[in-house]
Amino acid sequence: MQSSHFSPRLLSRFVACTIALATISACSDTKQDATTENSAPAASYSKQTLSTQGKDELSLSASEQLKPYLERDITDEIFYFVMPDRFHNGKAENDMGDPNNAISYGGLDKTSKWAFHGGDMVGLEAKLDYLQNLGITSIWMTPILRNKAIQKDGFGHHGYWVVDFTEIDPHFGSNDELKSLIDAAHARNIKVFFDIITNHTADVIKFKECHNEDGKFKEDGQKGCEFISKADMAAGKTYTPFVPEKEQGVKVPEWLNDPKYYNNQGDSTWQGESVITGDFAGLDDINTSLPEVQTKMIEIFENLISEFKPDGFRIDTVKHVDIEFWQAFGPAITEHAKSIGIPNFHIFGEVYDGNPAGLSKYTTAGKLPSVLDFGFFFNVKDSILEGKDIGRIGALFDNDDYYRDEDSGPELLLNFLGNHDAGRVGHFLQKSFTQADDATLLRRSELAHALMYFSRGVPVVYYGDEQGFTGDGGDVDARENMDPSLVDVYNDNILIGTSKTTADDNFDTDHPLYQSLAELAQIRVANRVLRSGIHQMHMANDDTGILAFSRIDPSTREEYLVMFNLSETPRNVKMSVDSSAFSTVYRLGNVNEPKVAQGVLSAAMPRLSALVLKASEQVPTSNIAQVTIGDIYTDNERAFIPVEVATKTPHANTLLNVTYYGVDPDGSERMIASDNTSPYRAVVMPEVLSSIATIRVEVSNYDDELVSETMTLN
């Protein structure tokens, strides 16, 4: 622990926690190095301890129970995704931006859902108590670098129209105020993540064939510039780029002002080559295929890390950038962060694709550590928030094999239920369950969040969801104010779990969703296996609405069983288990204690309920009888290498790890994939196999057995 990163208050709490280990189960994480958790009771949590009034020294927040922020892994985090402009206005003086810099000045209109509303870094820092008590351990902000405040299609309140990569946008504050926020968060053991853009800059470059000298379109009603393909460019059809006089030299660093570093092919049509080289809604598309651009962009973000010391990046519009750029960017950025003392700097990309084949392309071939799991978002939205079949959730987790290669895996994915583009949990619920009462909508939101907190991956809460915000759809319709709002189309929304509207102050720590998420955070943090254990599916039954899976620590063999009844009908659930008894860690709904007899667990699950249990006994060892490598096949632009493992004695949980090595003709080998859940298979990019002569498979039972088999490739 580096004491310089902790406030005296936080240090005193850690000391108090150490002294009181015998009386507070939530301190379990602080003593892991000294003892094992094999015989420790499951840490449970009661909503009664969540009151923010009169909080005593032993009532630790989630961030205070974890390792120091520089030391801990991404799987320990609970994210809060916040749009600073819409969160809290801590300094009214900066509401209009910088009057001395015209491109970043103006745009304030608190009555318009499109405009700036005044939120800033000072406001975020002022609400750190609110976030810490919610159980947040990492804050991810929408982009905060200096923007072009006003463009033809709106206002840069969201931060995605960057003109200066070296300073914060004056609407949000100063560089020093950003540093103050980061220092204050770090003092609470909370990480801070930046949202960054490498695909484009603000719309400054124009084309003589499409625009007048003042930058306006030549034709009345014109919305964009036709995309010109590379083939058409080679045949002589090109645009002549220029920058209107009033916006010349506005970008920082200086090299970004030169049109030669941009693709200049017109607006994307969202298909074909335009996905990579077209302007994203008119924004100036950087030519990320140029080695010089790759070097310069890496330098920009290395400098940001050196100056501000954030804990990671979320990267915007990843699939609109050449994959070769990511192959250089990801390793370079994480290595730079490590070199200046940030060993666990984490990067995750935004790839707007629900198909794991599309998402995993960027964590495998693209060398990014992680992505936002849009597959989780779409499948949970469809099943829990819209009432469709739940089999899709089982299929989602079965496809986790797409992410398992030598340096990434599904446990690193960031799970979310809504965001600033797609819309909110509350909106999906109200749109789908038009006849449901508020209690039912509230329960469904709690269930979706519980699944996000207890399944594999890292949970991300979208700001305002903890206050039951609903919105009217995606984009600006899902960007309400936490401060009292003056936007009519926000204030007429019916919120979930409260009689308030967005016209009220919505930092309500007594809101039932705030309380529920705080409880989920305590459960997740106090029970380590729910953060990092292997996710093994047991059931996703469309007919009954029962979803069940285990989280298992392969080193200690601890098991947590997680069960949901996602139907509107009470269900009696029976399933095979390995342990003779379980203790209850968490329950949602009036669920009685389950019973275990002759290897079968029986549980009466009320409608829309959840249960998390800890097994009293270790998961038994699976002794290996035979290993067989199946025929390689291709699907979804991937090569699949299936492996069948027969065990000597069947168990409810089969705890095995299958590691795949590619052996080159010279005999050297490298790991290409691994899988610890049945059915076992490697899912790799076809080019991975192009230079491999032999596949060697190594199967471990996490005990004393290790069986190896090989397959020669033609």
Has 350 been annotated as catalytic?
Answer: yes
Q: How far apart are CA 572 and CA 550, in angstroms?
A: 19
Indicate the Cα dihedral angle 237, 243, 245, 251, nearest 10°: -170
Report the predicted TM-score, pTM, of the whole model to 2 decimal places: 0.92
What sign for the dihedral angle of Cα 141, 143, 146, 148? negative
Q: Which of 713, 657, 643, 683 is nearest to 364 (CA)?
A: 683
Q: Which of 277, 278, 272, 336 is nearest to 305 (CA)?
A: 336
Q: Which of 384, 388, 380, 358 is nearest to 371 (CA)?
A: 358
Structure tokens at 91: 């300094």
Helix (H) / strand (E) element for 513: namely helix 512-526
Q: Please, which residues bridge with residue 339 across strands?
A: none
Report phi then psi at 172, rounded to 5.
-100, -10
Q: Do residues 75 and 543 lie in contact, with contact meaning Cβ atoms separated by under 8 Å?
A: no
Question: Given this model, what pLDDT does residue 42 score?
Answer: 54
Question: Given this model, what pLDDT does residue 153 score?
Answer: 79
Q: Please, is 35 exposed, middle or buried when counting C-beta atoms within 10 Å of its C-beta (0-12, 13-18, 19+)? A: exposed
Question: Given this model, what pLDDT does residue 54 score?
Answer: 45
Helix, strand, coil content of the chain in percent (nearest 5): 30, 25, 45
* Residue 97 vs residues 104, 163, 166: alpha-carbon distances, Å: 6, 14, 16
Sequence-distant (≥ 6) Cβ neighbours of residue 49 within 8 angstroms: 59
What sign for the dihedral angle of Cα 586, 592, 598, 599? negative
* Three-state DSSP class for residue 560: strand
Task: Provide block-wise average pLDDT over 10 residues at a time, the chain (714 residues).
Answer: 33 32 31 33 40 51 97 98 98 97 97 98 98 98 98 93 98 98 98 98 97 94 95 97 96 98 98 97 97 98 98 98 97 98 98 96 96 98 97 97 95 98 98 98 98 98 98 98 98 98 98 98 97 97 97 97 98 97 97 96 98 98 97 96 96 97 94 96 95 96 95 88
Q: How far apart are CA 304 and CA 306, in angstroms?
A: 5
Three-state SS sequence of 635-683 = ECCEEEEEEEEEECCCCCCCCCEEEEEEECCCCCEEEEEEECCCCEEEE
Q: Which of 308, 5, 94 is nearest to 182 (CA)?
A: 308
Question: Given this model, what pLDDT does residue 59 score?
Answer: 75
Has 698 been annotated as catalytic?
Answer: no
Active-site residue among 76, 316, 322, 401? Answer: 316
Q: Which of 51, 92, 53, 69 is nearest to 10 (CA)?
A: 69
Q: How far apart are CA 144 and CA 172, in angstroms?
A: 7
Active-site residue among 203, 350, 400, 405? Answer: 350
All domains in the chain, ordered by first residue: 3-64 (no CATH), 74-199+290-524 (3.20.20.80), 206-285 (no CATH), 533-615 (2.60.40.1180), 624-712 (2.60.40.10)
* Residue 220 vs residues 20, 216, 223, 364: alpha-carbon distances, Å: 72, 9, 9, 46
Q: Do residues 425 and 582 lie in contact, with contact meaning Cβ atoms separated by under 8 Å?
A: no
Q: How far apart are CA 229 and CA 239, in angstroms?
A: 11
The two beta strands, 534-541 and 312-315, are unpaired
Q: DSSP E strands: which ranges in 276-341?
A: 284-285, 312-315
* Three-state DSSP class for residue 333: helix
Report phi then psi at 280, rounded to 5.
-75, 100
Q: How far apart are CA 485 and CA 502, in angstroms?
A: 6
Q: Do residues 317 and 200 lie in contact, with contact meaning Cβ atoms separated by under 8 Å?
A: yes
How many Cα atoms are found within 13 Å in the side-chain-facing hemisphere of 166?
7
Question: Given this model, what pLDDT does residue 675 score?
Answer: 97
